[in-house]
Amino acid sequence: MTLQEITDADFETEVLGADVPVLVEFWAQWCGPCHQIAPALAKIADERAGALRVVKVNSDENPITSSRYRVMGLPTMLVFRDGVPVHELRGARPKAALDRELDHALAG
């Protein structure tokens, strides 16, 4: 599965207005670790379809959203619930670690 690209223009509608929690990956084309975790994020999107939406924002092309959420390094992932960021993950990690952190973030 290819993750949906979200832009500054549609972030509010697609993420803040979503009816399920959303994991947003802030990434850039030049970011090696971002490409490393892409397959894990795609698998998580498939496995958690309906309960969690996984999208990505290109930080270079969408500086307003990246700045708004103080994204300083890539990849940065934010979990939004009811339009509010509730958990932040920085840096690449294995899928098992992502799953553990997501379970924790989504439980509360």
CATH topology of domain 4-107: Glutaredoxin (3.40.30)
pLDDT of residue 2: 78
- DSSP reduced 3-state for 89: strand
Active-site position among 6, 31, 71, 74: 31
Q: Is 103 a catalytic residue?
A: no
Instruction: Give pLDDT tens digits for 27-82.
Output: 999 999 999 999 999 999 999 999 999 999 999 999 999 999 999 999 999 999 99
Which residues are CB-neighbours of 93 under 8 A, at least 6 positions away?
37, 101
Q: Is 79 a catalytic residue?
A: no
Torsional class of 104: left (φ above 0), alpha (ψ -120 to 50), beta (otherwise): alpha
The domains of the chain are located at: 4-107
pLDDT of residue 37: 97
Active-site position among 15, 22, 24, 34: 34
pLDDT at 1 over 80: no
